[in-house]
Amino acid sequence: MDTISLPATERSPRIDFDFGRGHLALRGESYPEDAAAFYGPLLQALRGYLAEAATDPIVFEVGLAYFNSSSAKALMNLFMPLEDAAAEGRPVTIRWFYADGDETIAEAGEDFAADFSHARFEMVEEFA
């Protein structure tokens, strides 16, 4: 599986997981009916990709205007194996996008950032 592409829906983000390029992105809003069902296959694919133990850099871009608590849990589940891979020496960068003035999303990013010590976590402010 080289790529997973899903269009955004009204309550789930656009997914562009390009494993070939090591570029993963998630954009939109996230409060799917069943967060485990939505994120489960993505987590499985990510784990499979990381298990190949390559050394290519990974960039994961997350730009969510809103996400519910079940999605927060799912994001954490995606972040943890990435941090583990970084701890084993793989270059991993997480880019957390938040709209100018959106304190809620900025604060959520800072919360997640505190759990990374090996992966690079960048906060990116976006202006409309």
* Residues near other proteins, by CB under 8 A: 10-11, 31, 33-35, 66, 68-70, 72-74, 76, 80, 101-104, 111, 114-115
Dihedral angle of Cα 7, 9, 12, 17, to the nearest 10 degrees? 0
State which residue, 55 or 117, has the beta carbon closest to other proteins.
Answer: 117
- Pick between residue 3 and residue 70 the one whose CB is nearest to other proteins: 70
For the bound state, the minimum distance from the C-beta of residue 85 to other proteins, rounded and expressed in Å, comes to 17
Of 5 and 104, which CB lies nearer to other proteins in the complex structure?
Answer: 104
Q: Show Cβ contacts of residue 55 under 8 Å, excluding neighbours closer than 6 positions.
A: 89, 90, 91
Q: Which residue has the tokens 């809103």?
A: 66
Q: In the bound complex, what is the minimum distance in angstroms from residue 98's beta carbon to other proteins?
A: 12
| 54 alpha-carbon distance from chain centroid | 19
Least distance (Å) between residue 75 CB and other proteins: 9
Say how far apart CA 37 and CA 22 lie, in whole Å.
23
